[in-house]
Amino acid sequence: MSKVVKFGGSSLASAEQFEKVGAIIRAEEERRYVVPSAPGKRFKEDTKVTDMLYGCYAIAEDGKDFKKELNAIKDRYNEIIAGLKLELSLEKEFEVIEKNFKKKAGSNYAASRGEYLNGIIMANYLGYDFIDAAEVIFFDENGDFDADKTNEVLSKRLEKSPKAVVPGFYGALPDGTVKTFSRGGSDVTGSIVAKAAKADIYENWTDVSGFLIADPRIINNPKGIEVITYKELRELSYMGAGVLHEDAIFPVRQEGIPINIRNTNAPADNGTWIVGSTCQKSKYTITGIAGKKGFCSINIEKDMMNSEVGFGRKVLQAFEENGISFEHVPSGIDTMTVFVHQDEFMHKEQKVVAGINRLAKPDAIEIESDLALIAVVGRGMKNARGTAGRIFSALAHVNVNVRMIDQGSSEQNIIIGVANSDFENAIRAIYDIFVETQI
């Protein structure tokens, strides 16, 4: 059995955190491949090393002296090395970084050095091999991740290293130039390594004990999610629930490798398991609740709309022509509503309205702003009667008016539209009826 373990920035922010991580890795022989992030915040007002690198490089790019800022980054790493009592010097690496900053090697290169340097420290601390991600993770000429080449090269490299550290967040373009994933991309690297290593489990260690049913900023001490499927996670992540980088799902999903979200500061907690499918029933009818504010609806009315072939396409064409993507399109016999992000739509609304009038010739168009969308997700809903009715009942009880409800064909999610001002109350009411009272 083998495990790939990824540790987030908060897990590696200091020597003390490194020691916790070392104890976790050494506790199980199966934890063979480690993917570290750059050091995160040590305390609330602290700065992440990645942000320090971005700031330092910006000064270098302006042609100004950046030695003070680079020394501050060097101090962060030397503090970790000293705390771990390692016989290690990063002086040569920093000399190379300084030269490349002066040559203006690019912000991708600059940002990637956080993981690169932390990877060197981690390999030295554990006694593992160090594999530079730029040598085994590849992007094509267009900057898109090259999954096939990466898997081929990385698999062969890992076969030679029974235990290794591969820094997260970056790879290389065909000419060798360093290219990073989007922020949080170490999650993606961990997934890529798990696939290449044919790992049995991908453990993603962070500062929370897995996913929670609802946002703790809205619900006081919400219950945790023990098991969630990839489909459920996709729905919740899309609606704003964030613990794992969204792109990290796909490489392991293809291989059927489960992901276990764990807490570095509470390693005894089981965390959340993310799986392809499961026979395990959810503890509650729902798996999770997530949502976003800042939508608006464009309500289109036309008599006999349902019998007009291509009406929906004509309406959506007006949005496409203006570069606006839609979120949901519930419809009736003579009505069709398009939900879009308000900040994308507001500056182009009259162009879109004119386009709809020109293409679809509706009887009326009404726009409603300041709306929120809430996703209620759960594989248990498929076999539970009256789920939508319970949602309506809960919202009516707290005087929340439902502006829209849309149920997916998989019966795993229900989307509810409410006013922005009712967003938090709506989530509390739904959580209460399905989790607290379970009426």
- Tell me whether residue 98 is in a domain: yes
Burial class for 395, CB neighbours closer than 10 Å (0-12, 13-18, 19+): buried
- Tell me whether residue 23 is in a domain: yes
Res 409: pLDDT: 65
Q: Which domain holds residue 194?
A: 3-207
Residues 31 and 173 both lie in one domain: yes
Summarize pLDDT for 386-438 with one digit per residue, the tens: 888 899 999 999 999 998 888 866 678 899 999 999 999 999 999 999 998 86
Res 62: pLDDT: 95
Residues 202 and 53 both lie in one domain: yes
Higher per-residue pLDDT: 25 or 408: 25
Residues 302 and 188 both lie in one domain: no
* Residue of 327, 329, 324 lying closest to 353 (CA atoms): 324
Count CB atoms within 10 A of the CB of residue 23. Answer: 11
Domain boundary among 149, 181, 207: 207
Res 174: pLDDT: 96
Q: How many domains does the chain have?
A: 2
Residues 192 and 303 both lie in one domain: no
Residues 192 and 292 both lie in one domain: no
Summarize pLDDT for 124-137 with one digit per residue, the tens: 999 999 999 999 99
Q: Sorting pLDDT into bands at 50, 70 and 90, what band is 114?
A: very high
Residues 18 and 116 both lie in one domain: yes
Given CA atoms 190, 195, 198, 203 in this order, what sign does their dihedral have? positive
Q: Does position 439 have pLDDT exceeding 80, yes or no?
A: no
**Tokens 């910006």 belong to which residue?**
58
- Tell me whether residue 420 is in a domain: yes
Domain boundary among 207, 241, 266: 207
Res 248: pLDDT: 74
Q: How far apart are CA 280 and CA 354, in angstroms?
A: 51
Q: Sorting pLDDT into bands at 50, 70 and 90, what band is 234?
A: confident
Percent of the chain with pLDDT over 70: 97
pLDDT-wise least confident of 93-107, 117-131, 271-285:
271-285
Distances (CA, A) of 165 to 4, 94, 115, 135, 193: 10, 20, 11, 13, 10
Residues 200 and 299 both lie in one domain: no
- Tell me whether residue 339 is in a domain: yes
Which CATH number does the domain housing residue 307 bear? Answer: 3.30.2130.10
Q: Sorting pLDDT into bands at 50, 70 and 90, what band is 380?
A: confident
Residues 201 and 296 both lie in one domain: no
Mean pLDDT of 35-46: 95
Residues 293 and 201 both lie in one domain: no
Which CATH number does the domain housing residue 156 bear? Answer: 3.40.1160.10
- Tell me whether residue 248 is in a domain: no
Residues 9 and 112 both lie in one domain: yes
- Asked if residue 38 lies in contact with residue 114, where contact means CB atoms within 8 angstroms, the answer is yes
pLDDT-wise least confident of 137-146, 161-170, 245-254, 273-282:
245-254
Residues 194 and 324 both lie in one domain: no
Res 381: pLDDT: 85
Given CA atoms 262, 263, 268, 269 in this order, what sign does their dihedral have? negative
Return mean pLDDT, the chain: 93
Domain boundary among 207, 229, 250: 207
- Tell me whether residue 236 is in a domain: no
Res 279: pLDDT: 78
- Tell me whether residue 234 is in a domain: no
- Tell me whether residue 171 is in a domain: yes
Residues 136 and 19 both lie in one domain: yes
Percent of the chain with pLDDT over 90: 79
